[in-house]
Amino acid sequence: MQKNTLRHFSLITVFLLIFSSFSFADFVDEPAEIIDANANAAIQLFYKDVKGGEAFLSKVKGYLVFPSVVKAGFVVGGKYGEGVLRVNGKSVAYYSIAAGSVGFQMGVQKASYIIAFVSQDALDKFIRSNGWEAGVDGAITVAKWGAGTDISTISYKNPIYGFVFGEKGLMYNLSLEGTKFTKIKR
């Protein structure tokens, strides 16, 4: 009984944190035009915040842009966002990103994600999939960089790189393992 009470308390706390920290609009299905406009703003922030970001994205086969991914947790957690797949700078499909987790985690965070496909094979497998899961269908190397570090030094040896930037809020536990990407109709 006590374990069940803790689980309910955790879920209630997560929802309270989410809804008190971010507007309800973050969870509503956005039209393609809004997703594209927000993705353009996120890409500009990426170029500004990440030295070498523009050169890097110009060399990849395609990339997903999730302008606003909200992650919240208190023992039980989850994240969700909607974004766009760009190939040759053009929007070709829209996707949601979602994950759930249990374990030591606490807080709420809103961030932008870019998932870059370096190899054509990785991009093709992603496009053909019916629900792609990081760590199962392909590995995403989460790029880490410090202030002043130019990401153009990335070796391009891994087929997929992930970038998390523009974080607002505090969240302990950052991982893309088990994150599910699902194509959405717009």
pLDDT tens for 53-89 read 899 999 999 999 999 998 777 667 788 999 999 999 9
Distance between CA atoms of 124 and 69, rounded to whole angstroms? Answer: 24
Q: How confident is the model at residue 173 (pLDDT cuts 50, 70, 90)?
A: very low
**pTM for this predicted structure:** 0.76
DSSP 138: B
Which token pair is 18?
Answer: 């989410």
DSSP 89: T
Distance between CA atoms of 12 and 14, rounded to whole angstroms? Answer: 5
Torsion of CA 134, 138, 142, 143, to 10 degrees: -150
Beta bridge partners of 181: 97, 132
Distance between CA atoms of 148 and 139, rounded to whole angstroms? Answer: 27
pLDDT tens for 125-169 read 999 987 877 766 677 777 765 555 667 767 778 899 888 888 765
Distance between CA atoms of 84 and 158, rounded to whole angstroms? Answer: 22
Contact 95, 87 (CB under 8 A): no
Contact 104, 171 (CB under 8 A): no
Shortest CA distance to 161 belongs to which of 122, 131, 128? 122
Q: What is the mean pLDDT of residues 161-186?
A: 73
